Amino acid sequence: MNEPPFHKLTPRSIRVWQWSNSIRSLFLFIIPIVYAIVIGWDGFHRWIVISISILAFAYWLLSMFLMPYLSWKNWRYAIDENEIDLKHGVIFKTRTLIPLSRVQHVDTRQGPLLGYYELASVTISTAATTHVIPALDSVLADRVRHQISTYARLAEEDV
């Protein structure tokens, strides 16, 4: 069986994921602060607070510099007249095939970070769940949404 031609996400998606992961990971620094306020800062508890802070900082560094690059490197998508094929995952790889006859609607979404980098996500809804192709160029996201919509309409006419 032939593999469809897979497309990669734009490299600008790395920046968006770095910012979003960084902001999300900053909340981990609340844990040692709350611990120090509630339990205390003296003796044995000082080492616990320092250890938790070091772990939070290490996680912040990984989520800021390594994970966005690895996510970008492993994200692929392909669209043909029969199905949408999504491949992603750094440690646990996921491959999802979405039959176009099951697609109910397709959206493009753009938050503040995606908008700043002129990117958008394509959201594909079926009866069971929703799938996302994250961080495409805005123009390409509109084109992908239109392409999926056209193929889904053709698949519906065939049924």
| pLDDT averaged per 10 residues in sequence order, the chain, 159 residues | 81 94 89 89 88 93 93 94 92 93 92 94 93 94 93 76
pLDDT of residue 152: 87
Q: What is the pLDDT of residue 40?
A: 83
**pLDDT score for 59:** 92
Rounded Cα distance, 14 and 125, in Å: 25
pLDDT for the residue numbered 134: 94
Predicted model pTM:
0.82
What per-residue confidence (pLDDT) applies to 72? 95
Query: For 99-102, which contacts have Cβ atoms below 8 Å and span 24 or more sequence positions?
Result: 99/155, 100/148, 100/151, 100/152, 100/154, 100/155, 101/152, 101/155, 101/156, 101/158, 101/159, 102/126, 102/127, 102/128
pLDDT number for residue 67 = 93
Please tell me the predicted confidence (pLDDT) of residue 113.
93
Q: What is the pLDDT of residue 156?
A: 72
Q: What pLDDT sits at residue 77?
A: 95
C-beta separation of 10 from 121 below 8 A: no
pLDDT attached to residue 158: 67
